[in-house]
């Protein structure tokens, strides 16, 4: 069985994406620990301002993903 350069490239892209997934997972856990765990350690609730800032950050990332997906959806296969 022979494998084309395009297939190898796809495999490498997949590997890199998986690595990013692992990094994102670790970062997610660290950030949850920092905010939620930090607030709990201080014996306080998460503030409205913290939640608003978090929501804005999420929306920004969702906007970026939506734009990228729209570009791919519109591109010819």
Partner 1 sequence: MAEPDLLKTSVGGIVRHLVTTAGGALATSGVIAADDVTVLVGAVMALFGIAWSILQKWLAARNPGSTTLSAALPSTILAVVLALAVAGCSAVPKPRDAKDALAIAEYTVQGLTDTALAATQAGLIRGSAASEALDKLSALRGGLAIARAAVANGDPDADLKVRALDGLVLALSTFLEARGVSGPGSPPPQSESPSQPRPQASGLVVSLFSGRELRHVR
Task: Using CB under 8 A, list all residues that contact partner 1.
Answer: 1-3, 7-8, 10-22, 24-33, 35-37, 39-40, 45-46, 48, 50-51, 54-55, 57-58, 61-62, 64-66, 68-70, 72-73, 75, 77
Cβ proximity of 23 and 8 under 8 Å: no
Output the smallest distance, CB 56 to partner 1, in A. 10
Output the smallest distance, CB 70 to partner 1, in A. 7
3-state secondary structure of 13: helix
The strand ranges marked E within the chain are none
**C-alpha to C-alpha distance for 8 and 77, rounded to whole angstroms:** 19
């Amino acid at each position: 069985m022979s494998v084309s350069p395009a297939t190898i490239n796809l495999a490498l892209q997949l590997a890199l994406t998986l690595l990013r997934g692992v990094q994102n997972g670790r970062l997610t856990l660290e950030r949850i620990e920092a905010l939620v765990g930090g607030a709990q350690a201080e014996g306080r609730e998460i503030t409205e301002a913290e939640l608003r800032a978090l929501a804005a950050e999420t929306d920004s990332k969702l906007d970026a993903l939506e734009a990228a997906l729209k570009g791919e959806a519109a591109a010819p296969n």
